[in-house]
Structure 1
Amino acid sequence: MDKRAAIPVALPRENPTQSYWQLEPDEIADLRLTNSLPDKADVVIIGSGITGAAVAFNLLSSGARDVVMLEARQACSGATGRNGGHTKAASYRSFLAHQKEYGTAMAAKIARMELANVRAVHAFAREHGIECDSTQLDTVDVVYEAAQWELDQIAVKAMQDAMPGDDASNYKLHSPEDMRNKFFCGRGGDEGVSGGVSYEAGSLSAYKFGIGVLKLCLAKGLNLQTNTPALNLEKLEGGGGWKVETPRGAIRAGKVVLATNAYTARVWNRFQGVIVPLRGNVTAQRPGLNMPKDGLPATYSFVYEGGYDYMIQRPKGSKFEGDIVIGGALAKAPEEGLGEYGTTDDSAVNDVIMKCLNETLPKYFGDNWGADDPEGRIRKAWSGIMGFSPDGFPFVGEVPGEKDLWISSSFQGHGMVLCWMCARALVAMMEGGDEKELDVWFPEIFKINEERLKLTFKGRLS
């Protein structure tokens, strides 16, 4: 892992695989609001995914002006526009580890924030009329490993004991019979289902959501500059602000925000080996002919020894209604996916992982899958780059020792339940908000500090 983490982080590739969500790029995909870059800005945000968009929205909503956003490729073309479409916390799966390492109060705070993030994203889409196929429905984790099922039951009880009556601990356990009859798994295919856990979650097109937030920001005065990578940061003389270099010239910025997730070390080298890229692989598949015509009752994760796959079904009324989007299978690659760490190459996919994803749905759904669609099972396959930290938490706050250099990055492939609230917390910090008020809901262990930057990356923890 040391060798993989040490691979120099590169800029986003110019020819990425085409994401299912971006089959029709939005009208602002290649927007440069002004023909030339401004000489200066109060704030430069690097990255136009959900984090960059959320930071911009919060800044502009609280009165900030002269905000410039730089994006290396098309708008929202990184992890946000390439993920699996899940808004799903699965907090119980990390609760015991968090409780042991950081205490019950912190473990509960993380769980509450994750659920709050899921709800906030869908509420924001409703409030602002963002058409992103936002759907709130339960999810179910289908557990195939007996030992994992025992641990999951212990974790759910621990959460419910620690957080009685709290929505964030509202989980329901399901028997193998439930999984067969209610969730259509474990009959005529992979029948080794030990049990299941269902809870509140949702799905959406994160690309359309991110684009929708960017459009709100443009209406508030954001200067979006796509296809303009940040190549280097340099402190301005006199101790105030930064020079941001791009292929189109430089901008002098009072503050810089790194909303760069897996690519952060390319912009600021101190994060090399600290925020480590990991390539994820995803497919969109047409459902089998025996699948329920009214759609599945939940989104899914399929949890097996060493890993998991994650899956949503496209909701009624959406384009490609009924399509199944499934990603994961990292553990099924050679050396449990070691070769996917350290790469920022989303111009290709991992063939071994893709073969697993392409073959797995008939095994999970068995007789309920039936024959493939006459047009073929696979509609689209693509990859995306996630960012991981040594302790499994994002880095949020002002970079230690670097005045006015701010960051909200490294979301462990868990961005849709972390990015929105982390952006809100970051803007509160940038504006000098009350830390005690922030600490009521924001986990202190997400804040960046010197100790965390010195940790050694050993592999993903989530």
Structure 2
Amino acid sequence: MDERASIPVSLPHPTPLPSYWQARPLSSHQESDALPGYTDTLIIGSGITGATIAWNLLSRGVDTDVTMLEARGVCDGATGRNGGHTKAASYRSFPDNIKNVGIEQAKKIARLELANIRATHAFAKRHGIECESRRCETVDVYFDQTQWEACVSAVGVMRDAFGDEDEGLYKLWSAAEARARFRVEGEGVVGAVSYEAGSIKADSFVGGVLRLCLEKGLKLYAHSPVTELRRVESGWDVVTQKGMVRAKRVVLATNGYTAHLLPLFQGKIVPLRGQVTAHRPGSNLPPSGLQNTYSFMYENGYDYMIPRPAGTEFPGDIIIGGGLSKAKDEGLYEYGETDDSLRNADISEHLHESTARYFGDAWGADSTDGRVRREWTGVMGYSPDGFPFVGEVPGMEGVWIAAAFQGHGMVFCWESARALVGLMNGEDVDEWFPSSFKVTEERLEKRFKGRLHTKASGGEGV
């Protein structure tokens, strides 16, 4: 893993595989023919993190001179490539979090994840953003007895910790109950747990947030990759392939690509390429589509699945991703990889046959047009301790960061961006935001050993 973590991080690949969610009206947005010479705040990255940071800055009215640069098309990174799974699976990481950061921090993290889900969907509803936002029940179906026993234990730990407090309302199901309720007729089911979650068309949601920001004065430039940051007396010179912008402060919402600009994060935010497929529904699935989202937990990994709701362009389509452990050496060579113009053949084979395997007779026959409509990849960012980095970068006054979301961005980014803007404005966010997420020199000294918390966690990935 040391070798993979030390691979120099590149800019985003210029010609990535087209994701399932490619129709983005803001994709090539250019505020003007030339970049501005100066801006108060410059945000690098136009995914959900960058968009939410911009919204919080502009809606508060404290900073109205905000510029955003994106290396490729708007929202063409992990946000525009994931399945839009607003699912926390907090129980999976909760026992480890207690061990590593204490019970109060662990509870704060679990509360933040659930709050993030609810806030994201509430924002979409409040502002009328058309993004397939839906709240629903999700289910983690277990195919391994050891993993299932750990699940039951972890749910018990959460119930003991939170008492009567609403922490997502976990419900355990026997193997027979899981097969009957969730249509998982494949072999090997040992149990399931269901709880509150949701799904959202992430690129459309971000497009809606950014349109609101543009109305408030955001200057947005796609296809403007940043190549260097240079400290100057009045702030930072941001060097791009289109020229230079001087900024009083810079915010990196660059997730897995961060170390390309800040070598301090080499081996501290490690890219990991994830893989996703979109399946046409089998003939035996309900015409209205499946009502739940899913994760499928097996001995050394997991897959996650989000059905498209009725009334969409491809109703009933199933987005299913994961399968990292099915690659060579359990996916070792996907770490440090930033080329999302390619797929991993081993993962492809696993994902292509996954739906028929999990649903068995409940799947039925494949569509006459074939099972897989599209397949693509994307780049996530992972940290040594399994937590995001949120705050000002040590030794770089005026440079702020919100990155390393562990393939869990749809339940971390919204609230992390809100916290970052609070920190930028000198606010105390410790009452609700985990201090374990803040950037510290101690955290930057830790060695990356691979994914934490997310093994079989069922997060949305890319």
CA distance in 2, matches of 1:259, 1:42: 16
1:460 aligns with 2:451: yes
Structure-1 residue corresponding to 2:273: 279
Please give the residue correspondences for 1:433-448 in structure 2 after superposition, counting only pairs within 5 Å: 433=427, 435=428, 438-448=429-439
What is the CA-CA distance between 1:459 and the residue it aligns to? 0.3
| AA at the equivalent of 1:444 | S
**Distance (Å, rounded) in 1 between the aligned partners of 2:291 and 2:74:** 33
User: What SS class does the counterpart of residue 81 from structure 1 fall into?
Assistant: helix
Q: Post-superposition shift, 1:293?
A: 2.3
Q: AA paired with 1:81?
A: G
1:416 aligns with 2:410: yes
Quick one: distance in 2 between partners of 1:229 and 1:291? Answer: 44
Query: Of 374, 392, 395, which aligns to 2:389?
Result: 395
Does the 8 Å CA contact 2:288/2:309 hold for their aligned counterparts? Answer: no
| 1:79-158 alignment, distance < 5 Å | 79-158=78-157
> Would you say the 8 A contact 1:279–1:341 is kept in 2?
yes
| Alpha-carbon separation, structure 2, partners of 1:396 and 1:342 | 21
Deviation at 1:383, TM superposition (A): 0.3
Cα shift at 1:394:
0.2
Answering whether residue 223 of structure 2 is matched by residue 227 of structure 1, we say yes
Which of residues 42, 45, 55 in structure 2 aligns to 1:44? 42
Cα deviation per residue 1:148-180 (whole Å; 9 max; x = unaligned)?
A: 111111110110110012221520000111111
- 1:21 paired to 2:12: no
CA distance in 1, matches of 2:292, 2:236: 47
CA distance in 2, matches of 1:381, 1:210: 22
Counterpart of 1:344, as a letter, is T
Report the number of matched residues.
452
Distance 1:95 1:410 in 2: 19
- Equivalent position SS for 2:206: helix
Measured against aligned partners, the alpha-carbon deviations of 1:2-37 in whole angstroms (never above 9, x if no partner) come to 111111000001110000011x2x222101111101
> Taking structure 2 as the reference length, what is the TM-score of the superposition?
0.97
One-letter amino acid matched to 1:368 = A
- Is contact 2:291-2:307 (8 Å) kept? no
Partner residue in 2 for 1:303: 297
User: 2:369 aligns to what?
Assistant: 375
User: Cα RMSD (Å) of the superposition?
Assistant: 0.8
Give me the whole-angstrom Cα distance separating, in 2, the residues matched to 1:297 and 1:217: 33
SS of 2:182's equivalent?
coil
Task: List structure 1 segments (4+ residues) > 4 angstroms apart after TM superposition.
Answer: none
For the 8 Å contact 1:5–1:342, the answer to whether it is kept is: yes
User: Per-residue CA shift, 1:228-281, capped at 9, x if unaligned?
Assistant: 011000000x3x310000011111100000000000001111111110000000
Give the aligned partner of residue 352 of structure 2: 358
Partner AA of 2:200 in structure 1: L
Answering whether residue 69 of structure 2 is matched by residue 70 of structure 1, we say: yes
Q: Percent of counterpart pairs with the same letter?
A: 58
Following superposition of structure 1 onto structure 2, how do residues 173-184 of structure 1 map, counting pairs within 5 Å?
173-184=172-183
Q: Which amino acid in the other structure matches residue 436 of structure 2?
A: I
Once residues 169 and 112 of structure 2 are traced to their aligned partners in structure 1, the CA distance between those partners, rounded to angstroms, is: 14
- Contact 1:156–1:169 (Cα < 8 Å) also in 2: no
CA contact (8 A) 1:9 1:342 kept: yes
- Whether 2:66 is the aligned partner of 1:33: answer no
TM-score, L = length of structure 1: 0.97
Counterparts of 2:31 and 2:275, CA distance in 1: 33
Preserved contact between residue 281 and residue 327 of structure 1 (Cα < 8 Å):
yes
1:349 corresponds to: 343
Runs of at least 5 residues in structure 2 that lack an aligned partner in the other structure: 455-462
The match for 2:440 among 423, 433, 449 is 449
Deviation at 1:138, TM superposition (A): 0.6
